[in-house]
Structure 1
């Protein structure tokens, strides 16, 4: 079935666009409005989105800056179609890389307090803490929030897990779709001490984080002088034009 799909895509591409290039060239490509870039380097594809702070007059005078939104492996499907899939774990590994989990003394029978600090994010972020079958939540204000657990249960909790997501987000397309990774879950249980509170600092959470994509089983098409992805045409930059932009990897 999948093989038939590939043949169908190839036929549609040839009928719609005529003769197409059979080579996916290395380089940097931009969409019509310059809001997104695609960088091709051998078998790796990177997506970048324009930093809004460098658009308008700032972009004209100081250049444009782009931040990464996805890193994908490229697999050739036919002469004109290539499948792209996010490289597993790269985004999540960066999120929790510099996590700091510390304990602070607390009096007996006082509530458990689990505090989250995100010093480099300005938007409100919702944290969820799961203890057994119980779910607690809190939203950051000025980069901090505290979630209180009950110590007075028959079986006091020994550990918890947590996840986070943005409280609000902006759709990625006019159809209301959102292409970013919304929920990030810490892959380990965190131990609880009967007389300690927990402080968790996550310096790698930024507002940009929630614009990063997770791409699975999507296709790019090679056309004359560029490529097509998600309905958008991307034209290859000239070498001289690349001097006017900054790409952050």
Structure 2
């Protein structure tokens, strides 16, 4: 199927731009507003976005949205795939600790996200029972009733932002909004749990996960998802 799709891309490239192969040049490309950049170096592509705070301060600074491996697909099209999933960075420096419980009737699970300012919703599954909470000032505590979880000695959790801003005027969003911790966390009958997630930031939810997508080489730049990026 991918072979047929590659042939299809080749035909489009030849029809639009002739049979001459277009070289994907190293360098930095920017979209019309300058809010997003694409940086290409050999077989690696980086998507970068301008932080809103830096625009307000009058000096733009950029943070990475995705780092991708580039593979030539046809004369004018190149396939890109994310090298790392956003989940890998989100949970990279997670710290889970236990504390003596002050309440024998309940478990307390505290989430701390010191580097995020936006409200984040946490969901906790203990057996078939779902608990939820939203962070305030970077912290959220969810109380589990011990009497309702006699059949479970562990839990799983996920998180997502309470709101987000669309990536384009069409209302599409390119980032990853939902994160599930891939492991179960053990519950101790006499302990509460504190989970610190320093890598959760406001910009984490903007990060892309790109799989089998394509960029197109066009005169003086490249196109991705219908948007033109001009080379500096």
In structure 1, the partner of 2:82 is 86
How far the C-alpha of 1:131 sits from its partner, in A, is 1.2
Change (3 A) 1:107 1:196: same
TM-score by length of structure 1 reads: 0.87
How far the C-alpha of 1:40 sits from its partner, in A, is 0.9
In structure 2, the partner of 1:45 is 45
Which of 198, 216, 219 aligns to 1:224? It is: 219
1:205 aligns with 2:219: no
How far the C-alpha of 1:2 sits from its partner, in A, is 3.0
In structure 2, the partner of 1:77 is 73
How far the C-alpha of 1:18 sits from its partner, in A, is 5.0
Unaligned runs of 5+ in 2: none
Provide the C-alpha distance between the structure 2 equivalents of 1:235 and 1:51, rounded to a whole number of angstroms. Answer: 20
Alignment of 1:228-243 (within 5 A): 228-237=223-232
Which secondary structure does the structure 1 equivalent of 2:61 belong to? strand
How far the C-alpha of 1:14 sits from its partner, in A, is 3.4
Mean CA deviation greater in 104-113 or 202-211 = 104-113
Does structure 2 conserve the Cα–Cα contact (< 8 Å) formed by 1:117 and 1:201? Answer: yes
The superposition leaves residues 185-206 of structure 1 with CA deviations (integer Å, 9 ceiling, x where unpaired) of 1121111110111111111111
The superposition leaves residues 148-200 of structure 1 with CA deviations (integer Å, 9 ceiling, x where unpaired) of 11101372531111111101111112222111011111121111110111111
How far the C-alpha of 1:44 sits from its partner, in A, is 1.2
How far the C-alpha of 1:15 sits from its partner, in A, is 3.0
Which secondary structure does the structure 2 equivalent of 1:22 belong to? coil
Provide the C-alpha distance between the structure 1 equivalents of 2:149 and 2:76, rounded to a whole number of angstroms. Answer: 63
How well do the aligned residues superpose, as a CA RMSD in angstroms? Answer: 1.8
How far the C-alpha of 1:98 sits from its partner, in A, is 1.8
Provide the C-alpha distance between the structure 2 equivalents of 1:168 and 1:208, rounded to a whole number of angstroms. Answer: 13
How far the C-alpha of 1:134 sits from its partner, in A, is 1.5
Does structure 2 conserve the Cα–Cα contact (< 8 Å) formed by 1:127 and 1:139? Answer: yes
In structure 1, the partner of 2:55 is 55
Which secondary structure does the structure 2 equivalent of 1:94 belong to? helix
Which of 89, 96, 100 aligns to 1:101? It is: 96
Number of residues of Structure 1 aligned to a counterpart in Structure 2: 232
In structure 2, the partner of 1:114 is 109
Unaligned runs of 5+ in 1: 238-249
Change (3 A) 1:198 1:15: same
Which secondary structure does the structure 2 equivalent of 1:207 belong to? coil
